[in-house]
Amino acid sequence: MKTNYNRREFLQNTSMATLAAMGMNSPMASLLAGSNNPIAQRAASADTVILLWMAGGMAHTETFDPKRYTPYEKGMEGNRVLSTFKSVPTKLDGIHFSEGLEGIGSVMDKGTLIRSYVAADLGHILHTRHQYNWHTCYEPPQTVAAPHMGAWIAKELGPKNPVIPAFIDIGQRFTVGEGEELKAFHSAGFLGNEFGPFFIPDPSQGLDSVRPPVGMNMKRFEGRNKLYNDLISKSPFGDFGSDYQKESLRRSMEQAYILLNSPESKAFNLSSEPKESYDIYNTGRFGLGCLLARRLTEQGARFISVTTEYEPFFGFDTHENGHTRMVGMKKQIDGPVSQLIKDLDKTGHLDRTLVIVASEFSRDMMVEGRPDQTVKEQVNQPEILNDMKFYGMHRHFTDGCSILMFGGGIKRGHVYGKTADERPCKTIENPVKIAGIHQTMYHALGIKADTQYEIEKRPFYTTPDGKGQVVKDLLIKA
């Protein structure tokens, strides 16, 4: 890949980049009309959201909704296997989690367990399509670039601390797997660049995200910042872009520049964390992402997403060796998630911070999709198991998923919904769909249900047609 450009080439590439940005964030300022004034929003129970994203499809029967345990035996019938782990008690009487999640189970008195999330019917089940749906509340494809939930929050509420970016995304790279598909929803869409994510692919190198490049002193960096602003004026944005677009792009760069020079930038330096605490979080990039999320929340972050990272056939994308892979994934998430909840609760931040633990869909050993809907099987799962690699949940299952929610006005020690105890382990009580999750979150933040902008001469809401309903039974005060 070419990295050394002359001035002419640099200007040409900058022009192409700005044109691409105009395509992604296309509406003019006149079209961004009809939004509710944040000052007039309803009273909120939360100021901050942390989304802990279990990318790849986390099996509910192997995590937060265990069923009958069947140990592996060569020659066993696959249909007998509902859970490959023993169940263990949680802090809540009568509620069990899957073995390996004892830490998260110990903090369930501080949150709500949803056992009845039902993923959308999107035809052939693809991870990035369902992730797009989960993060934007809209089904792909769309005629406009739908904003990520973090962008909606950044736009409607603004930064909680003007120094800290309002939307921070930790842990997802776009150089692995389906990078272009992931980029489609890791965006502010039509809302504009300033409301898009501040990316930190590797939390262990988070401080590098707010430092000038190696070999560049502050004077040179300031000069480049001025040059960048000049380039915006001389690029296609200057000729064809709206004032809204140009100002949005400038503000996004200015925000990064302000952060670089602020005391708050020290939050990115994880080496300053006490060793005892650091060691609990240090289970890998996801664990350190949870630590960084806690430190940024303490500095006034508004929305933070931390992901185990989606890369096909890695992480929770367990197309084979499901049981073995789940052992490793539980080690990555159990300590950091539970410690994050404990730390936020101890400092009082949990009261105003909504923490969500979720995945795009669940998994089953034998059923693909949902039992009443035929979809293409993507895994060759034999009916008789003669190899340990077939022992686990390898097929995509969309009819029963688990979500955890803590803080920010969410009930404590509460369980909502139920799935069947026998295969197919689908939702049988109080189904929840993605619009309900989004609208409950926006409700907790004080964002009105009819929040919308006019785009392509039609209103575009935070949930499709503005019809998302708050799941009131999840909230302390509805």
Structural domains for the chain: 26-207+263-474 (3.40.720.10)
Residues 117-174: tens digit of each pLDDT: 999 999 878 999 999 999 999 999 999 999 999 999 999 999 999 999 999 999 999 9
Residues 213-223: tens digit of each pLDDT: 666 665 665 66
| Tokens matching residue 4 | 């050394």
pLDDT value at residue 478: 77
pLDDT value at residue 397: 96
| Exposed/middle/buried for residue 276 (C-beta within 10 Å: 0-12, 13-18, 19+) | exposed
Distances (CA, A) of 157 to 169, 316, 445, 448: 17, 33, 9, 11
Residues 432-466: tens digit of each pLDDT: 999 999 999 999 999 999 999 999 899 999 999 99
pLDDT value at residue 124: 79
pLDDT value at residue 193: 86
pLDDT value at residue 194: 87
Q: Would the pLDDT of 363 be above 90?
A: yes
In the numeric block, the tokens 């992604």 are attached to 24
Distances (CA, A) of 239 to 17, 134, 228, 476: 14, 36, 16, 51
Q: CA-to-CA distance for 239 and 247, rounded, in angstroms?
A: 14
Is the CB of residue 402 less than 8 Å from the CB of residue 64? yes
The pTM score is 0.87
Mean per-residue pLDDT of the chain: 87
Q: CA-to-CA distance for 109 and 130, rounded, in angstroms?
A: 30
Residues 4-27: tens digit of each pLDDT: 434 343 333 333 333 333 444 444
Residues 251-281: tens digit of each pLDDT: 656 666 778 778 888 999 999 999 999 999 9
Residues 117-151 as b or e (16 or more Cβ within 10 Å = b)? bbbbebeebbbbbbbbbbbbbbbbeeebbbbbbbb
Q: Report the SS3 class of residue 214.
A: coil
**Residue among 99, 75, 76 at smallest CA distance from 89:** 99
pLDDT value at residue 414: 98
| Tokens matching residue 301 | 């972050």
pLDDT value at residue 459: 96
Residues 196-212: tens digit of each pLDDT: 999 999 999 877 766 66
Q: CA-to-CA distance for 413 and 380, rounded, in angstroms?
A: 40
Q: Please count the other Cβ atoms lying within 10 Å of the Cβ belonging to residue 7.
A: 7
CA-CA-CA-CA torsion sign (98, 57, 281, 325): positive
**Residue among 252, 240, 198 at smallest CA distance from 20:** 240
Place 307 in a pLDDT band, splitting at 50, 70 and 90: very high
Segment holding 403, helix H or strand E: strand 401-406
Q: CA-to-CA distance for 197 and 174, rounded, in angstroms?
A: 13
Residues 343-357: tens digit of each pLDDT: 999 999 999 999 999
Is the CB of residue 300 less than 8 Å from the CB of residue 160? yes
Q: Please count the other Cβ atoms lying within 10 Å of the Cβ belonging to residue 294.
A: 28
| Tokens matching residue 431 | 């189904």
Please name the residues in contact with 63: beta carbons below 8 A apart, sequence gap of 6 or more: 97, 98, 101, 326, 330, 402
| DSSP symbol at 408 | T
| Tokens matching residue 182 | 């992931």
Q: Which residues pair with 419 in a beta bridge?
A: 427
